[in-house]
Each structure stands twice: as structure tokens, then as C-alpha cells.
A and B are shown apart, each in its own frame.
Chain A
Amino acid sequence: MLTRLKTATAPLMIVAAALAGTGPAPASAQEPMQLAQLTGTIPLEGNVGPVCSISVVALPAASALNLTGGVTRVQVGTVTQNCNRTTGYTLTVTSANCALPDGARVARAAPATDYLEFSVEFDNPATGGSTDVTDLLDTACANQVGRTVAGVQVFAEQSQVYLNYTGSALLAAGTYQDTLTVTMTVN
């Protein structure tokens, strides 16, 4: 009987020691202390492509220029612009008849020596640091920037295109023409 009692004390003492934290703990006593934490990630990404466009509309006045009437400022067209690239863009303008040193001009087909010089003006919204620009194509034919937009998107903004010239009553009779080309260059 005494032998049985002594043998029975062993598990009792182990459990007591475990509860007191002084001996090896069974898993059942330790598990509530664990806070397993596992993680995983999902990277999300979407791309928005550049969508930039211009629509150039000529006004009726562009084909009915008063070439003999002295100092003239006439609106000849509009440039409607959209661009979702915040890096911006430029609008450049070229003239089909541009030639140095006189720059842009409306000219008769023949003889080509009959012409009237003009310069181009862009009246711009102020978005993206834009300002009005004058004297385009006056003395240069290349790199004539009518608008510079930086750091913003542009939605349906419109620049007004004007011609500035001094008409001459001495012009020979005939049809004087030129073509302006407006180009958007996205940064």
C-alpha cells in the first residue's frame, strides 16, 4: 500500500511544478499563451495609359482675311486639348509658307514673291503654367511653341489662335494662302 502511494506522487508533483512554471510545461498549459500570426500580401496595380488629343477648328475668318486693311488681329481658329499625362505637353505651330527672314506669310501661288507677313498668337488658359504667347513665326519657322503645360492634366481646354499682320493696299490682286499646322507634343 505504501509503495502504491509513493508511486502515485510522481505525476502529482510534475503537474504542480508545471503550474508553478518551474518545470517542463505540457502543451495544454502552454498553448493559450501562443498567438500565431501569419500574413500574406496581394500587390494591386492598375495602369492608365496616356490619352492626349487636340482638335483644331478653323474659323470662317481664316478664309476671309482682310489683307488690305492695316493693323489687323483676327482669330482664325481654336485648339481644343485633352491630356491625362500630368507631365504635360506643348503645342507648336508651323506655317507652310514660312521662310526666313520674314517668317510666316500668306502668299499667292504665282508669283510667290507676292505675300504678306504675319505672326501667330496663342491665347491660352492659365492651367499648368500656361501664358499667352505672341509673335510666333514672326522671325523663325521652327520650335514655335504656342502653349506649354506642365504638371497637370488638361480636360477640354481651348486655346484661341490669332493672326497679327499689317494689311497692305498695295498687294496685287489674287488669292493669298498659307496653312498653319498645330502639333501637340506630350512630355
Chain B
Amino acid sequence: MINRSAHKRWLMIGVTATLIVGAIVAISQFPDCEVCQAANDILLQGTVAQNCTIDVTAAAAASNLPLTTAGAQRVQVGAVQQSCNKKVGYTLAVTSATCATAPAGAKVADSVSGEFLAYSGEFANPTTGGSQASVTGLLATTCTGQVGRDVTSAKIVGESSTVFVNFTGDAGLAAGTYQDTLTITMNVK
């Protein structure tokens, strides 16, 4: 027979033991305080997929270059329409199919006569995202790492860069068809 005082003592021991066990369980499941804080949060999350594209359009003049017209020539050969929702930005790099053939540098070449005319690329850009309005001398002597536009920390929607080629006409070129292909690549950062 347990008296009231003894029963009260046993009850207090039981409650204390329950609290200690509960605390141990809680600590073992959530060992740090951040979790305790997160327990009261509702995580909301949505995802916007990356959507970056370019659309390269060749101008009519690209296939009718005035190769024998005397003096410095600057011809618009195409446009690069760009959209990119990734705000870290991107670069537009340009390569030439004939560039690596000696002498290094972009050139339109006639496969029959073996003659060529050297040129350089130029990008005229919107200035969004810190882009340079004009980038010249591309591919003049170097075939890799030629960046026509560099966009940083900006979302681009439907902007267009204009691509030019610069060369000096040569009336002494052999008769023939002179060709090259520029390839423009968007590299998202």
C-alpha cells in the first residue's frame, strides 16, 4: 500500500523520466537548432528552365562579296538574334572553317586556284549586360577563343548582333569562287 506522499513521489519520477526520454528522442532526430527552426517553415519552390537560343541569319551580301573592289571593304554578312533567360550571361564565339589553314586567320578561298583573300570578323552589339558595342579584328590572326559578344548579369530577350567582315579588295585575284563558313556559338555561363 503506497501512501499519498509516496504516490506523488513516484508520479513525479515518472513524469520526469517521460520528459527526459522525450527530450532524448527529439535531440536524436533533430540534432541541431536549424532543424528545430525549419520545423515551422513551409518550403515553396518553383523552377524556371534555362531557355537560351540564337538564330543566325545570313545576309544576301554574304554570298556576293566584292572581293575585287579596290580598297577597304566592310560588308554586313549576317545577324545573330539572341534570347537567354539565364542572368549569369553568355558569350557568342565565332570560328571560321578556313582559319586554321596556313597562314592562320579567316579567309575566303578558291579551292581550284588555291588563292585566298584574308578578312576579319566584326560584331556590332547592343550594350546590354556590359557588351561592347563593337568588337573588331576577330579571326584576323587567331582561330580560337574569338568572342564577338560577352553578356554578363543580364537577361536578354530578342536582341540582335550584326556580323560584318572586313577585308581589302584585290583586283589581282584569280577568277573563281571564294568561300568560307563562319560558325557562331552561344556558350551559356
The interface residues of chain B lying within 8 Å CB-to-CB of A48 are 67-68, 110, 173-176, 178
Q: In the complex, what residue of chain B is closest to A82 when comparing beta carbons?
A: B172
The interface residues of chain B lying within 8 Å CB-to-CB of A27 are 47-49
A86, B188: Cβ atoms closer than 8 Å: no
Which of B45, B66, B117, B179 contacts A26 (CB under 8 A)?
Answer: B45
A85 interface residue per 8 A CB criterion:
yes
A86, B172: Cβ atoms closer than 8 Å: no
A86, B174: Cβ atoms closer than 8 Å: yes
Q: Which residues of chain A (42-92) have a CB below 8 Å from chain B?
A: 42-51, 84-87
The interface residues of chain A lying within 8 Å CB-to-CB of B165 are 44
Nearest Cβ distance between residue A2 and chain B, in whole angstroms?
8
Q: How far is the CA of A118 from the CA of B22 in the complex (A)?
A: 130
Q: How far is the CA of A47 from the CA of B177 in the complex (A)?
A: 5
B176, A42: Cβ atoms closer than 8 Å: no
The interface residues of chain A lying within 8 Å CB-to-CB of B101 are none
A43, B58: Cβ atoms closer than 8 Å: yes
C-beta contact mask, B25-48 vs A, less than 8 Å → 1, else 0? 010011000010011110101011
The interface residues of chain B lying within 8 Å CB-to-CB of A36 are 50, 52, 86, 186-188
The interface residues of chain B lying within 8 Å CB-to-CB of A110 are none
Q: How far is the CA of A35 from the CA of B41 in the complex (A)?
A: 34
C-beta contact mask, B166-189 vs A, less than 8 Å → 1, else 0? 000000111111111111111110
Which one of A8-16, A132-140, A164-172, A174-182 contacts B?
A8-16
Given contacts A40-B54, A41-B184, A48-B68, contact A85 B38 (CB under 8 A): no
B65 interface residue per 8 A CB criterion:
yes
Given contacts A37-B188, A86-B112, contact A47 B178 (CB under 8 A): yes
Which of A39, A45, A84, A86 contacts B63 (CB under 8 A)?
Answer: A45
Q: Which residues of chain A (1-36) have a CB below 8 Å from chain B?
A: 2, 4-5, 7-9, 11-12, 26-28, 31, 34-36
Nearest Cβ distance between residue A81 and chain B, in whole angstroms?
15
Nearest Cβ distance between residue B85 and chain A, in whole angstroms?
11
Which of B38, B80, B117, B173 contacts A84 (CB under 8 A)?
Answer: B173
A38, B52: Cβ atoms closer than 8 Å: yes
Given contacts A37-B187, A40-B183, A42-B62, contact A12 B175 (CB under 8 A): no
Nearest Cβ distance between residue A107 and chain B, in whole angstroms?
41
A97 interface residue per 8 A CB criterion:
no
A39, B185: Cβ atoms closer than 8 Å: yes
Which 4 A-B pairs give the minimum distances between C-beta atoms? A40-B56, A46-B65, A8-B39, A27-B47
Q: A36-B86, A43-B58, A46-B117 provided; 8 other pairs, C-beta below 8 A?
A: A8-B39, A28-B45, A37-B188, A38-B52, A39-B56, A41-B182, A44-B108, A46-B64
Which residues from chain B sit less than 8 Å from chain A, CB to CB? 22, 26, 29-30, 35, 38-41, 43, 45, 47-50, 52-56, 58, 62-68, 77-78, 80, 86, 108, 110, 112-113, 115, 117, 163, 165, 172-188
- 26 A-B pairs, CB-CB below 8 angstroms? A5-B30, A8-B39, A9-B29, A11-B38, A27-B48, A35-B187, A37-B186, A37-B187, A37-B188, A38-B186, A40-B54, A40-B80, A42-B77, A43-B180, A43-B181, A44-B165, A45-B62, A47-B67, A48-B68, A48-B173, A50-B175, A84-B175, A86-B115, A87-B112, A153-B172, A153-B174
